[in-house]
Every structure is written in C-alpha cells, then in structure tokens.
A and B are shown apart, each in its own frame.
Chain A
C-alpha cells in the first residue's frame, strides 16, 4: 500500500472525528508549546548571562583577598578580614607578569550618602581611573577622578546612574558636594548606565572614589579587597593564574604547604560555570515541560485505543479484502504520528508566540533556537510513534473473523 494512500486514509479517519482529533492534538500542542516556551526562557537567560560576562571581558583575572580554603583554624574569613593584599602587590603583578596588561584595585565600603534632603545607602568602591576603561564604562557627564586625586587622597567621586538619579533627580550633580559617611565629596562625574550584573544586582547603584581616599578616610585601612586585572587574551588570563599565585605567595611569605591567603579567578572560569548553570536550568525547565508532552502522548494512546475498538469492523473488512497486518498497523501508526506531528507544528508556533509574549510582558530574555524547535518536532513525532505503536499493534493483531463479527 503506497504511503500517499495511507496518508489520505489517515487524514480522512481523523477528519471524521474532528472534535476528538483536535482535543487529542491539544495535548501535544500544550506539551510542545510548554517545552518551546520554557526552553526559550532558559536559553534566553543563559545567553544574557553569557553576554554580560563577555561584556565584562573574558580576559579578566580577579584576585581577591582571603581564601575559602583557609579554615576557621587559620582565622581567615574573607576579603574584609585579610589585610595582606596591597597596592604594591598590584604593581608587582603588572611588573612581573607580562601576560597581565592592566589592573585596577578595589576596596569596598557601604555607606549612607546624603545630598540636601535626599539620602541613600549604597556602596562606595575605591579604585583607579583605569577601572572604568577596563570595563568599557563611559562617563556620561563631567569627568572621572584623576591620578592626582589618588595621590592626594582627594574627596572626589563619580556616581553611578542610579545613585545620581536618587540623590539629584532632575538636577545636574556635576560640581555638587555630597556627604559620604558625613565627609564632603565633590561629584566629578556621572556614569552611563550599565544595568544589571550577571548576578542580578544593579551595577549603577555605586559610587566610585580614589582607592586611597576610601582606604584612608572611609575605612581606615591600607590593604585592598581585590584587584581586577585584564590579561592580553582569554588564554593568557588562564595562563597568568599560576604566575600570579606564585608571585603573591612569595610576596606574602606563604610557606610551602600553607594555603593561599588570596584567591585568583578568571572570568572565563566564571563564564564556564555560568554556562553550565544556565544549561542545567534550561534542562530542568525543558524536562518539567516534557512531562506535559508525555501526558499528551498518553492522550494519543488513549484515543487510538478507543478508535481501534470503534473501528474493529472496519479493520475486519479491510483484512477480508486483503489488508495485511502491516497495512493495518501502518495505517493506525500514521494516524497517531499525524496527530502528534500536527500538534507539534501548532505547538511550536504557539511556543514561539508565547516566548515573544514572555519577553515582551515579563521582560525576560527569551531565545528560540532552531535546535530546540528541531528537537521538539522530533520529540513529538517520536511520541506519536511510541504511543501509537501499541494501539496499532493491537489493531493489526485482530482476528479478521472476530473483527467482522464485531457489533
């Protein structure tokens, strides 16, 4: 029996029970739609995280004070408690590790900031002017503080967009004086917006000041919490890690067998980790949605079983006039696959619509990848074959004599 004829027979059988076929298909439609929409959410998030990390630069090496491997016995808890990382370390790295092109220090303080009758609790980061250029971060108005400000430990600062908006509203902050921990700081500039970080916090909710000012005037310390460095390439960033480690161990006089009192991480490591995390999330969302596809498949099986019983006499007639078991099996299998494939196609279309709706109304990033669409289509056809097989087999195994007698 030719496939064209088989298809036509299947199409007609399905058309005969339009409502039932539509409802059966609906199960697959919902399943495929859910898979497409959920996977698009997962992949969208994955891509966004990836982009943010890449915008940060994949050649970034991040050196922080303290190390999680130093246990309670060592009394070392984190970057705030470890006093050994200094600006001299940074200078040494720049001098002795040629793979590192640039570096900026980081010292953080949380503080209440006040302008006029407005106030806001934010974080102040002490650094050097090149931190902005390393992060491709531009000044929107005014200017960045200078090397001279660092030498002088001057009370100047640059505001992130969120802080500027909250304290100044419509006013121009440049040239104004704000109070950080009750010390007056001149606002030298305002930064362009940077948006959320990969971890989801607002990068614009921040004030930048010379690291020397933050160390001496806000924190009263002479060490750093971290150093942000950039290598000449992504590969170089990984290669630089052991060099930085041995240099710092030497400088910090860490003996053989003792743990580091600092931690060196590369952005590419973080990127890989984030990617793995994102993939797990996508997989999780996809598998939860697949359950509904499975339920849709069971719906197909159910309806096909009913259909086989209802059409027992038809099967008997077909067998009497010469249909083989294979012919009958193929006919019912094609019906099941037609149902699931049509459902799959509609589901894919709906899933794409949903993912667009999700990104428009919930502001979540979504990404419908051809791979996900292809997989959903394959999967829905597979569901048809898998759940159609048993009813089709049952139909083919009918005894023609019994089937002809069936009322």
Chain B
C-alpha cells in the first residue's frame, strides 16, 4: 500500500485525465493537486467544460485518471480495477445527483436499502439501517412511497439517505439542487450542512451556482482542467464575496 501518511481523506497528486476520441485527444484535467481533510465542506466550481464533472467522477471512483495518483484514506485507488472501484464506491462514497436517480417503482425504503444489498448485509440489518437513515433525513413517514409519489425535495432526501446508508467517508453531491426550487434548495443545503456539522461528514459539492457554493467552507475553482483558486472561508458572508470575486475573474482561457 503506497500511501502518504497524513490525515487527508482525499489526496490528489498531479492528476491528468485525457479523453481519447480516436482522432483527437481531449485533455480534461491537466495536473490537479488537491488535499481534502475530514469534516470539510468543499464546493468545486467551474464553468461547463472546466473539468469539474471529470474531477467528480475521479473522486467518486467512477473513472480512473490517465496519470497521477489518488489516495483515498491513504490508499492508492487510482489504478484499481472495476470490481475494486465498485467496492470503494459501495463502502466509502455516497453519491447525490441532480436527477435524484432513484429506481422507479421501488419504494423509498428499498431505494435507500440498495447499497446495503451490494455490501452483502443481512436482511434484518439492511432494514433497520434503512429505517434509521430515512429518519435521519426526516422521511420516516414516507418509507412505502414510490419516487413518483414524492416531491423533488423528498426524492433528493431519499437519495441523500441512500448515499449515507453505508456510512461513507465522502458525500459527493453533483448539482444536488439543480432540479429543485429555491425554497427546497435551501432545505436540502441545510440538511447537508447539518450532516457536515453534526455527523462530521465530508461533503464535496459540485455546483456552478454561487448561492449553493456559499454553504461550503472551502471553494475550489476549476478552469481548463486546472485549479485556479482554492480558498478557505470563515462564513457564508465571506463565501459570497469570494464567489463574487471568482465570477468576476476573466473567463477566457489562461493557457
């Protein structure tokens, strides 16, 4: 286990990702160095094409970097095969998507249970955990509802419960409020903030909305596959100002 022993949960070293489209090679990430510690609340920002989705897929172990190393809890996961990456996703990473991505015609409880099936938990254990996790997001009364019977905010809560059920090290939220109205967005962001504060959950948020990014304590701005800014903020007021600054930066390519 080639590990750098420090207390960072995520440690990215000179990560490159190149998409080989046959005739052309498209560089998406061109040398990312990033360390994220426990209990952090990070927002990754950037315009479309900045590489933030690619970065998220790499952090989420859905994909492998072309070069560079990725240590997740001091374990090099950058060159794991698909089976081991599936295991990492199952146990260490919780995903929350813009589209909620719940299984249709499957109850809220069963949706939340899904990751525990692949973790190989016994039925009893799966059930009680799903109960408890749904309660944590305030949906204990909707266990038997299908996604089609739930509001957008409720669906996203189910998705968050699903992301949390295997007690992951990281919660990866990709535009979690992109499909929600502003009122519900606030509710969801408050839930994430609460999980970060009370459970000490490491939350990584990918977003392009300033209002949403302002909930984070650390703002990372990507452009053209590189980290342009990486700022720690004390509170939301400061976050707003930083985000505003970031938006004011020249948008044309620096390279």
List the interface of chain A (C-beta within 8 A of B): 1-2, 5, 16, 313-314, 316-327, 400-401, 404
Partner pick for A322 among B63, B89, B102, CB 8 A cutoff: B89
Contact of A323 with B101 in the complex, beta carbons under 8 Å: no
The residue of chain A having its C-beta at the shortest distance from the C-beta of B56 within the complex is: A401
Assembled-state Cα–Cα distance A2/B102 (Å): 22
Convert B85-112 into 0s and 1s, putting 1 for each residue whose CB lies closer than 8 angstroms to a CB of A. Answer: 0110111000101000111010000000
Contact of B118 with A320 in the complex, beta carbons under 8 Å: no
The residue of chain B having its C-beta at the shortest distance from the C-beta of A327 within the complex is: B118
How near does chain A come to B206, taking the closest CB pair, in angstroms? Answer: 14
Contact of A323 with B105 in the complex, beta carbons under 8 Å: no
Assembled-state Cα–Cα distance A1/B86 (Å): 13
B83 within 8 A of A: yes
Contact of A1 with B89 in the complex, beta carbons under 8 Å: no
Give B45-65 interface residues, CB cut-off 8 Å to A: 57, 60, 62-63
Assembled-state Cα–Cα distance A327/B63 (Å): 19
CB neighbours (8 Å) of A325 from chain B are 82-83, 86
Contact of B83 with A324 in the complex, beta carbons under 8 Å: yes
Assembled-state Cα–Cα distance A202/B97 (Å): 81
Contact of A317 with B86 in the complex, beta carbons under 8 Å: no
Assembled-state Cα–Cα distance A320/B111 (Å): 13
Contact of B83 with A321 in the complex, beta carbons under 8 Å: no
Assembled-state Cα–Cα distance A325/B81 (Å): 11
B129 within 8 A of A: no
CB neighbours (8 Å) of A317 from chain B are 101-103, 114
CB neighbours (8 Å) of B82 from chain A are 324-325
Assembled-state Cα–Cα distance A148/B90 (Å): 100
How near does chain B come to A10, taking the closest CB pair, in angstroms? Answer: 13
Assembled-state Cα–Cα distance A322/B91 (Å): 8
Contact of B115 with A322 in the complex, beta carbons under 8 Å: yes
CB neighbours (8 Å) of B57 from chain A are 401
Given contacts A1-B118, A318-B114, A401-B63, whether A324 and B101 have CB atoms under 8 Å apart is no
Contact of A320 with B101 in the complex, beta carbons under 8 Å: yes
CB neighbours (8 Å) of B63 from chain A are 401
Q: Count B interface residues, CB 8 Å.
A: 25
Assembled-state Cα–Cα distance A313/B104 (Å): 10
Known contacts A1-B117, A322-B119, A404-B101; 15 additional CB pairs below 8 A are A1-B120, A16-B105, A314-B103, A318-B118, A319-B86, A319-B89, A321-B95, A321-B115, A322-B86, A323-B86, A324-B86, A324-B87, A325-B86, A327-B86, A401-B57
Assembled-state Cα–Cα distance A313/B115 (Å): 16
CB neighbours (8 Å) of B162 from chain A are 321
Given contacts A320-B62, A322-B87, whether A313 and B118 have CB atoms under 8 Å apart is no
Q: List 27 A-B contacts (CB under 8 A).
A: A1-B120, A5-B117, A313-B101, A316-B101, A317-B102, A317-B103, A317-B114, A320-B60, A320-B62, A320-B89, A320-B95, A320-B101, A321-B89, A321-B90, A321-B115, A322-B89, A322-B91, A322-B115, A323-B90, A323-B118, A324-B83, A324-B118, A327-B86, A401-B57, A401-B63, A404-B97, A404-B101
How near does chain B come to A316, taking the closest CB pair, in angstroms? Answer: 8
Closest 4 interchain pairs by CB? A322-B90, A322-B118, A321-B115, A324-B86
CB neighbours (8 Å) of B83 from chain A are 324-326
The residue of chain A having its C-beta at the shortest distance from the C-beta of B119 within the complex is: A322
CB neighbours (8 Å) of A2 from chain B are 120
How near does chain B come to A390, taking the closest CB pair, in angstroms? Answer: 19
Assembled-state Cα–Cα distance A401/B58 (Å): 10
The residue of chain B having its C-beta at the shortest distance from the C-beta of A323 within the complex is: B118
How near does chain B come to A324, taking the closest CB pair, in angstroms? Answer: 4
Contact of A321 with B120 in the complex, beta carbons under 8 Å: no
Assembled-state Cα–Cα distance A325/B102 (Å): 20
Which of B62, B87, B103 has the largest number of chain A CB atoms within 10 A?
B62
The residue of chain B having its C-beta at the shortest distance from the C-beta of A15 within the complex is: B105
Assembled-state Cα–Cα distance A404/B56 (Å): 13
Partner pick for A401 among B62, B86, B101, B120, CB 8 A cutoff: B62
CB neighbours (8 Å) of B101 from chain A are 313, 316-317, 320, 404
CB neighbours (8 Å) of A322 from chain B are 86-87, 89-91, 115, 118-119, 166
How near does chain A come to B174, taking the closest CB pair, in angstroms? Answer: 9
Assembled-state Cα–Cα distance A8/B238 (Å): 52
Assembled-state Cα–Cα distance A320/B57 (Å): 10
Assembled-state Cα–Cα distance A323/B166 (Å): 13
How near does chain B come to A307, taking the closest CB pair, in angstroms? Answer: 14
Assembled-state Cα–Cα distance A92/B191 (Å): 111
Assembled-state Cα–Cα distance A319/B86 (Å): 7
CB neighbours (8 Å) of B120 from chain A are 1-2
CB neighbours (8 Å) of B91 from chain A are 322
How near does chain A come to B151, taking the closest CB pair, in angstroms? Answer: 20
Which of A5, A316, A319, A324 has the largest number of chain B CB atoms within 10 A?
A324
Convert B109-134 into 0s and 1s, putting 1 for each residue whose CB lies closer than 8 angstroms to a CB of A. Answer: 00000110111100000000000000
CB neighbours (8 Å) of A321 from chain B are 89-90, 95, 114-115, 118, 162
The residue of chain A having its C-beta at the shortest distance from the C-beta of B105 within the complex is: A16
Assembled-state Cα–Cα distance A404/B114 (Å): 16
CB neighbours (8 Å) of A318 from chain B are 114, 118
Assembled-state Cα–Cα distance A135/B249 (Å): 111
CB neighbours (8 Å) of A327 from chain B are 86, 118
Which of B83, B86, B87, B105 has the largest number of chain A CB atoms within 10 A?
B86
Which of A16, A326, A400 has the largest number of chain B CB atoms within 10 A?
A400
How near does chain A come to B162, taking the closest CB pair, in angstroms? Answer: 7
